[in-house]
Amino acid sequence: MTFNKLFSIGSILTVFLLFNCSQNQESQSKSSEQADKNDKPLNVIFMIGDGMGLPQITSSFYYKGSPSNFERFKNIGFIKTSSKSNKVTDSAAGASAFATGNKTYNRAISVSTDTTNMPTILEKLEAKNYKTGLISLTSITHATPACFYAHVKDRDMHEDIATQLLTSGTDFFAGGGLKYFSKRTDGRNLFDEFEKAGYTMDSTGLKSDLDANKKYGFVLAEDGIPAKIEGRGDYLLDATKLALDHLSASDSGYFLMVEGSYIDWGGHAKNAEMMVTEMLDFDKTLGYVLDYVEKHENTLLVVTADHETGGVAIGKSDRADSVAVYFTTDQHTAELIPVFSKGDHEDSFRGIYENNEINHKLAEALGNIK
C-alpha cells in the first residue's frame, strides 16, 4: 500500500473521529440542556372561560375584526362535562372535577358525594412550595375559584369559603366579594386577618411593583367586578399580567388559574352583547398569555370551560351577509367542551375524555403529584 493511500485512509478516519466527537458533544450538550430543563418545575397557567362552548369561541372569529387567538393552537381536545348528580353540570361540580380529579354532585365545592374533602391541585402544589394564584371576575369565593382552595357542601357558603382562603396559602388572588371579607354575619374582618397573616390586601385597585416575597390579595368589588359592557376596562388582562410577573419571580414553579366569568352570565341573561364582549376580553387576555408561553420554557397553558351556557348558535342575521347570536336556553347545556393546550406537554390534552381527566393530565405533567 502506497504512502498516499495510507494518508488518504488516515485522513478519512480523522475526519470520521472528529465528526463523531462533535456529534457526541452536541448530543451531550442537548442532553444536559434537557436535564437542566427537566430539573426545573413546570409552570401551569389554567384558563377557564366559564360558559364558553364552541359557539362562544366562534363568535370571537366573527366579531373581533382580526384573527382570534384561538387560531394559534395546534393541540385541541374535548371534554365530557356531566357531574355525578346531573347530565348537565354546574360550575361548582365542573371546577371541582378540574381541581380535584374527581367528579362530584352539582353545587359541591371540592367535596365528594358524601361531603368528604377532596385535595385540590392548588393544595398539592402549595405543599411542594409552588407559588399559586387565582383570578376571577366574580367574587373570589364564587364556585370556580373556590373549588381550588375550599371544601364546602354548597357553593353558596361564601363566608366559609372566604375563611378557607385565609388558610389556603394562595400567594396571589384577585376578584370581587368584599362583603364576604369585611361585612360578615359573624362580625369577623377577614381583611385584617389576612394582613395579620402576612398578606398585603387592597380593595381599591391592582398595584404594580409587587414584592416577590409577599402574598397579595386584591378584592375590588362588594360582589362581582363589573361586566365589560359596564366599563370594566382591562382588569382581566392587567390582573393576569400582574400575577404572572409576581409568581414567576420565584424559581419554585407556579400554578395560576384565570377565570373569564361573565361569558356564562351573558348566556344566562341571553345577552348577546355581554357574551360577545366578555368573549373578546377573554380572547385578548389569551393573546397575552400565548405570547408569554411562547417566550418562556417549561410552561404549560391549558384553556377550557366548565360547561356551555345559553345553547348558543351563531346563525344568519337579518342583515345581508352577516351573523347573529341566538340563544335556545338561559341555562347550562351538556355539549362537549373544547380543550386547548400550548407549551410543555401540550400534546397530552388531545382526544375526547371526561372533564376530571384534565386534572390527571396536569398531575402527570407536573411529575405525578400526590
Q: Which residues are annotated as a binding site for Zn(2+)?
A: 50, 264, 268, 306-307
| DSSP string computed for 117-170 | B---HHHHHHHTT-EEEEEEEEETTSHHHHTTT--BSSTT-HHHHHHHHHTT--
129 CB-contact burial (10 Å; exposed 0-12 / middle 13-18 / buried 19+): exposed
225/357 Cα distance (integer angstroms): 31
- In degrees to the nearest 10, what's the CA dihedral of 173, 177, 181, 185? -150
350 CB-contact burial (10 Å; exposed 0-12 / middle 13-18 / buried 19+): middle
Q: Do the Cβ atoms of 106 and 136 come closer than 8 Å?
A: no
**Binding site, annotated residues:** 50, 142, 144, 259, 264, 268, 306-307
357/304 Cα distance (integer angstroms): 12
Active site residues: 91
**Binding site, annotated residues for Mg(2+):** 50, 142, 144, 259
Q: Which amino acid does the sequence have at 222? A: E
CB contact burial 11-38 (16+ within 10 A = b; e otherwise): eeeeeeeeeeeeeeeeeeeeeeeeeeee
Q: What is the distance in angstroms between the CA of the first residue and the CA of the last residue of the chain?
A: 68
Strands 215-219 and 308-309: unpaired
Rg (CA), the chain: 24
- The cell for 276 is 360577545
351/357 Cα distance (integer angstroms): 11
